[in-house]
Amino acid sequence: MGTRHPVSYQRTFVDRYQPNASSLLPGTLAAELHGLGKSKDQQPAGTYARKVLEQLLIDLSWYSSRLEGNRISLLDTRALFEKGRSESDDRDATMLLNHKDAIEFMVDAVPTEGITPPVLRNLQSLLMRDLLPDSADLGAIRQKIVNIQDTVYVPSQVPHLLEETLRAIVDKARAIHNPVEAAFFLWVHLAYLQPFVDGNKRTSRLAANMPLMLANCSPLSFLDVGRTDYALAMLGIYERLDVTLAVELFDWTYRRSIAKYQAIIESMGGPDPLRVRYREQLGEAIQQIVHFGRSLESAVQALHVAETDAAAFRAMLNTELTHLESYNCARYRLPIGKTQAWIDRGRPH
């Protein structure tokens, strides 16, 4: 590193980019990956991510945390997510649980809020909760100098320029038609800008999923990416504005993500028409019963389910409550601890 000359942030990297005219990914590659990754059905934004949420929580949390030096095994991560938070959690456990919370937030927020600076800033605040010495830095645009290990790159240190550039990045990402190109654009530019005091690379990896989620494409989990390969891809961007290695890494790992999550979707079989029609009502009833203690009948009556479907809906709801566990409650946005307490009380409904 001693022979490399320090380089500063180059705003022209984002300013020169014109959505749908410029491209960081080769155009044919972006089109190919979009074709491979997109859902075959026309469904509401976020449907794909929700379908594979249980596996996505494990994969993206573990692989992203591993790139930050996390030492907890994949098997122990599953056990940790089933157990939930405790006073004995160390930094590694907190990092993983923060990823889980941030992904759950993203799956809920992005389909309704879209890609916005507040959503991005909330992502960072969730990822870095209890990991920063000063809680005022959670979600805040950086007011402090940062240095990145093992690189001569010096990020911008001017807060109002960081905030302005973050808005420009978000605006351009929203305007990109191809969600795979938008995902790559967000990943690269957020990591390069370093808008937060810490957690920038973590935030960029999760944020790359936002355009994919809105377009119902396969999520990106950075499956099997090694720390050295990732560091080299980042160095190319930081020091030379060269995305060559980042393109190769993204292409390789996104294909692996597509294959994994499509296999999960296929293993689920065709959707139950009744379940599709009453997806939101089913989730609301389960939340009311488990989280707020309402009876099944009271919860169903409040939903105004069609009389012709009422019996089938009650049967479906009973089945879901029978199979609800602390390790699969995230799909209904239920806290693990609250769900386990309900189970321990004998599943009252």
Q: Please tell me the predicted confidence (pLDDT) of residue 79.
A: 94
Contacts of 108 (CB under 8 A, 6+ apart): 333
Find the angle CA(326)-CA(47)-CA(276) to the nearest 5 degrees.
Answer: 85
Band the pLDDT of 174: cuts 50, 70, 90.
very high
Q: Is it the case that residue 100 has pLDDT exceeding 90?
A: yes
Q: Is it the case that residue 1 has pLDDT exceeding 60?
A: no
Q: Please tell me the predicted confidence (pLDDT) of residue 336.
A: 86
pLDDT tens profile 221-246: 999 999 999 999 999 999 999 999 99
% of residues, the chain, pLDDT over 70: 98
Q: How far apart are CA 235 and CA 249, in angstroms?
A: 13
Q: First and final CA of the chain: distance in angstroms?
A: 63
Return the minimum-mean-pLDDT range out of 4-18, 68-82, 308-322: 308-322
Q: Please tell me the predicted confidence (pLDDT) of residue 322.
A: 87
Q: How far apart are CA 254 and CA 244, in angstroms?
A: 15
Q: Is it the case that residue 247 has pLDDT exceeding 60?
A: yes
Domains and CATH numbers, the chain: 7-267 (1.10.3290.10), 273-344 (no CATH)
Spatial CA neighbour of 89 closest among 102, 106, 70: 70
Provide the residue count of the chain.
349
**What rounded mean pLDDT belongs to the chain?**
92
φ, ψ (nearest 5 deg) of residue 71: -105, 0
**pTM score, whole prediction:** 0.79
Q: Is it the case that residue 274 has pLDDT exceeding 80?
A: no
